[in-house]
Amino acid sequence: MALILDTGPLYASLDRSDQDHSRCRRLIETATEPLIIPSPVLVEVDYWIHQRLNVGVLVALLNDVLAGAYQVEDLGPDDYRRVRELCDQYGDSDLGFVDAAVLAVVERLDEKKLATLDERHFRAVRPRHASSLRLLPIDA
């Protein structure tokens, strides 16, 4: 079992001014299972850090990755196939690459929960391995 992190909770845990900071920080700090960051999420978090915070926050996050606090999960060929399927299937709902990649990782790791603040996309998509996902911290 693992806790897979989408962009929203990871970013909110880093930005003290974010309205979801406390609950996302608590979610991450109290997790008893490995914290998994799909690699595309890091790119999105980097973008928001550079828009709103400072490079020191990114460096601290990367230090945490290097120290083993987070495991970065790269995409493989099967994940890219699934991303393509999801983007095609949910094209009308504006499902983007990062969200589709997150779902592909969730499916591959057979997780039934996801740390996300994105109810719009993750309530609409149907994972292959479950009827729905438990969204944390929303469904906590």
What single DSSP character describes residue 96? Answer: -
pLDDT for 30 equals 97
pLDDT for 35 equals 98
pLDDT for 91 equals 86
Q: Note the CATH number of domain 3-137.
A: 3.40.50.1010
Domain ranges of the chain: 3-137
How do residues 31-44 score in pLDDT, each as one tens digit?
999 999 999 999 99
Query: What stretches in the chain show pLDDT beneath 50?
Result: none
pLDDT for 93 equals 87
pLDDT for 83 equals 98
pLDDT for 140 equals 73
Cβ atoms within 10 Å, residue 110: 12
Q: What is the dihedral of CA 33, 137, 123, 80, to 10 degrees?
A: -40
Residue type, 135: L
Q: Please state the pTM of the whole predicted model.
A: 0.95
